[in-house]
């Protein structure tokens, strides 16, 4: 856009502009002072342009003292570079400055911005000066890429006749798994809003309202423990459709992804995507979000009465470092009977349970399962899925550990490759501390609603065998989207609440408005939600969703830039009827 600050941006000048007078504005990316001239790289959102200011220029002495990241305006003549720099878009030209104006002087910056190869700033420092961190090309590219993802999916969904509809951010507290962030009401004393963990109930109410297809880029809030792929507030691509089946949703998502891959020119993937049943994913990979860039699978070697022996082979030595890492993972995932077999030694070389013994036939079964080039087999001998899950954690450890990748080619993954698949046929319920809870959320439909209506609330074994019409999209070892067919029968929804031990008064207080809507005609409906930050993290080969969010919180939930959360004035608390209780402990 032509205005008083610039006639062009720093990324679009080339040989077509030779001998033209142009005006550029931007940040001093790098400055090199020579005896007879100053060379500086001027940067804006669009790129870099080299500027030459000769000694005879009136601004020469001013620029000699200026620091990187100061903001200047340059008017000058476009000339051809003697030696082109093909690493940047404007590398065939440079601008000889005729008038230079310093718009804003920067003081010494706390970390280097112009050298990604030697960037060593710690994350807390980067978060404190996030506005500087976002000037780095790597960070800017990620934020821009996220915008491009959102633009692509918006364009696609609009073309499919979806309506983008906002749902409330101040809403009602309902049990959805994580803790709510609560907002006290000044008007209604002793009452609180909750920030939404998801737009789940509102999007179902939109279906009841007669909206056929809905989406929004929603802000969601969850007060949960922090990890590299979690934040207290995050963005979600939320979608819901009326009169559709599970297959309809999955096919539309694949169509959307195909367009996204095309728009962003990503490495081609094959559609339709593979589908893997939940139980098969656990048995083969020890995870409900397997990374299929690695071909290693868990084998079921034999079953003996109630116990199943599972294992997978590696080319490795069970040294102290590996042993410590592996046993920690086994313990974390409640693996009780863990063993290690060495093909070279022809025997079990480690067992967490000395009481476990195998016959010669069983030892032969283990040995005969070995690939030629592998010597070590990690094994679990368990009655439930905990053994497979422990092996899955070890498998993931080998995939993520760079040293293991270098030494073991079968775990070496291509970070630029995308492996997506659907996980389907999830359990409807799970047992947590001896109590039945919803594996997804209580609005997910079972695959066989009629059978669930007949089940007794006390029949735990049969309840845990019920499958749900839920589906997760997994990419490179991360769940990037999850959805389900929803319940649209009031009796079934009431039955699910009953199974979850929610009494009538609790249901009425928390979901009465929702259940009442069931009485006015509710269509069959289904939906899905993408965790946008996590999705973009995977697409950009990032290691933390903090790098895909402009202003994230750190690992302790603190915004180091603004120092939020912070204390507030006592008068504000009084208006809300709140009082801080001092914790003397």
Task: Report the C-alpha gap between 422 and 562 in whole angstroms.
Answer: 40
The pLDDT assigned to 405 comes to: 59
DSSP state for residue 266 in the 8-state scheme: P
Q: How confident is the model at residue 1 (pLDDT cuts 50, 70, 90)?
A: low
For residues 82 and 156, membership in a common domain is answered with no
Last residue of a domain, one of 379, 411, 443: 411
For residues 325 and 222, membership in a common domain is answered with no
Task: Report the C-alpha gap between 399 and 573 in whole angstroms.
Answer: 50
Q: In 65-119, where does DSSP find H-type helix?
A: none
DSSP string covering 302-361: EEETTEEEEEEEES----HHHHHHHHHHHHHTT--SEEEEETTTTEEEEES-TT----HH
The response to whether 224 counts as a known ligand-binding position is: yes
Is there a domain that residue 559 lies in? no
Q: Is the pLDDT of residue 512 over 60?
A: yes
pTM above 0.85, yes or no: yes
The response to whether 546 counts as a known ligand-binding position is: no
The response to whether 41 counts as a known ligand-binding position is: no
- Range of 157's domain? 140-273+419-548
The pLDDT assigned to 402 comes to: 63
Positions of E strands within 428-557? 429-432, 435-438, 467-475, 478-485, 525-531
Is there a domain that residue 499 lies in? yes
CATH number, domain with residue 78: 2.40.50.140
Is there a domain that residue 221 lies in? yes
The response to whether 288 counts as a known ligand-binding position is: no
The response to whether 532 counts as a known ligand-binding position is: yes
- Map 348-400 to HEC letters: EEEECCCCCCCCHHHHHHHHHCCCCCCCEEEEEEECCCHHHHHHHHHHHHHHH
Is there a domain that residue 402 lies in? yes
The response to whether 135 counts as a known ligand-binding position is: no
* pLDDT per position as a tens digit, 442-490: 999 999 999 999 999 999 999 999 999 999 999 999 999 999 999 999 9
Task: Report the C-alpha gap between 10 and 26 in whole angstroms.
Answer: 8
Is there a domain that residue 255 lies in? yes
Q: What's the whole-number mean pLDDT along residues 106-134? A: 94
Report the range of poorest mean pLDDT among 257-271, 341-355, 548-562.
Answer: 341-355
The pLDDT assigned to 61 comes to: 87
Q: Is the pLDDT of residue 583 over 80?
A: no
CATH number, domain with residue 489: 3.30.930.10
Bond into 195 cis (ω within 30): no
| Diameter of the chain measured on Cα atoms | 92
* pLDDT per position as a tens digit, 65-98: 899 999 999 999 999 999 999 999 999 999 999 9
For residues 400 and 445, membership in a common domain is answered with no
The response to whether 440 counts as a known ligand-binding position is: yes
Average pLDDT over the chain reads: 92
What's the domain count of the chain? Answer: 3
Is there a domain that residue 125 lies in? no
Candidates 250, 269, 251; CA nearest to 417 is: 269
The pLDDT assigned to 212 comes to: 98
For residues 304 and 407, membership in a common domain is answered with yes
Token pair for 364: 């032969």
Q: How many CB atoms lie within 10 A of CB 547?
A: 20
For residues 370 and 252, membership in a common domain is answered with no
For residues 371 and 445, membership in a common domain is answered with no
* pLDDT per position as a tens digit, 167-223: 999 999 987 667 899 999 999 988 999 999 999 999 999 999 999 999 999 999 999
The response to whether 479 counts as a known ligand-binding position is: yes
The response to whether 91 counts as a known ligand-binding position is: no
The response to whether 498 counts as a known ligand-binding position is: no
Q: How confident is the model at residue 404 (pLDDT cuts 50, 70, 90)?
A: low
Q: How confident is the model at residue 408 (pLDDT cuts 50, 70, 90)?
A: low
Token pair 């749902």: residue = 167
């Amino acid at each position: 856009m032509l205005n008083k600050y610039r006639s062009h941006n720093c990324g679009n000048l080339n040989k077509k502009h030779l001998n033209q007078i142009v005006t550029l504005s931007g940040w001093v990316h790098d400055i090199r002072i020579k005896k007879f001239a100053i060379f500086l790289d001027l940067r804006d959102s669009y790129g870099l342009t080299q500027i030459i200011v000769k000694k005879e220029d009136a601004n020469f002495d001013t620029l000699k003292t200026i620091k990187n990241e100061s903001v200047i305006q340059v008017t000058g003549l476009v000339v051809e570079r003697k030696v082109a720099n093909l690493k940047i878009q404007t590398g065939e030209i440079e601008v000889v400055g005729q008038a230079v104006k310093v718009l804003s002087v920067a003081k010494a910056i706390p970390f280097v911005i112009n050298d990604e190869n030697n960037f060593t700033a710690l994350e807390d420092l980067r978060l404190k000066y996030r506005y500087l961190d976002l000037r780095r090309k790597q960070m800017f590219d990620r934020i821009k890429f996220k915008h491009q993802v959102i633009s692509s999916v918006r364009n696609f969904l609009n073309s499919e006749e979806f309506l983008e509809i906002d749902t409330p951010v101040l809403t009602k507290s309902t049990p959805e798994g994580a803790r709510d962030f609560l907002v006290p009401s000044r008007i209604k004393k002793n009452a609180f809003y909750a920030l939404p963990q998801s737009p789940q109930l509102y999007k179902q109410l939109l279906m009841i309202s007669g909206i056929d297809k809905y989406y929004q880029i929603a802000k969601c809030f969850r007060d949960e423990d922090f990890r590299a792929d979690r934040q207290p507030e995050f963005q979600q691509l939320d979608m819901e459709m009326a009169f559709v089946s599970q297959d309809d949703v999955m096919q539309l998502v694949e169509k959307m992804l195909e367009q996204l891959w095309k728009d962003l020119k990503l490495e081609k993937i094959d559609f339709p995507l593979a589908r893997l049943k939940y139980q098969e994913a656990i048995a083969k990979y020890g995870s409900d979000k397997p990374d299929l860039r690695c071909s290693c699978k868990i084998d079921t070697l034999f079953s003996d009465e109630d116990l199943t022996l599972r294992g997978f082979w590696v080319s490795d030595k069970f040294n102290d470092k590996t042993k410590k890492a592996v046993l920690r993972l086994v313990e974390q995932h409640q693996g009780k009977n863990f063993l290690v077999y060495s093909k070279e030694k022809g025997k079990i070389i480690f067992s967490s349970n000395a009481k476990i013994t195998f016959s010669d036939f069983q030892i032969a079964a283990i040995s005969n399962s070995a690939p030629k080039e592998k010597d070590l087999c990690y094994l679990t001998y368990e009655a439930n899925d905990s053994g497979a899950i422990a092996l899955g954690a070890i498998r993931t450890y080998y995939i993520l550990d760079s040293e293991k990748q270098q030494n073991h080619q079968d775990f070496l993954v291509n970070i630029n490759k995308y492996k997506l698949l659907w996980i389907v046929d999830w359990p409807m319920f799970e047992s947590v501390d001896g109590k039945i809870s919803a594996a997804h959320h209580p609005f997910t439909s079972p695959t066989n609603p009629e059978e669930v209506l007949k089940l007794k609330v006390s029949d735990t074994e049969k309840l845990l065998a019920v499958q749900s019409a839920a589906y997760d999209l997994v990419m490179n070892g991360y769940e990037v989207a999850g959805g389900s067919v929803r319940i649209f029968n009031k009796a079934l929804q009431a039955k699910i609440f009953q199974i979850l031990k929610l009494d009538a008064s609790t249901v009425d207080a928390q979901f009465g408005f929702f259940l009442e809507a069931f009485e006015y005609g509710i269509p069959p409906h289904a939906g899905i939600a993408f965790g946008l930050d996590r999705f973009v993290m995977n697409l950009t080969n990032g290691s933390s969703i903090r790098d895909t969010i402009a202003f994230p919180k750190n690992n302790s939930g603190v915004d180091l830039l603004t120092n939020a959360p912070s204390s507030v004035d006592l008068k504000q608390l009084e208006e809300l009827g709140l009082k801080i209780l001092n914790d003397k402990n």
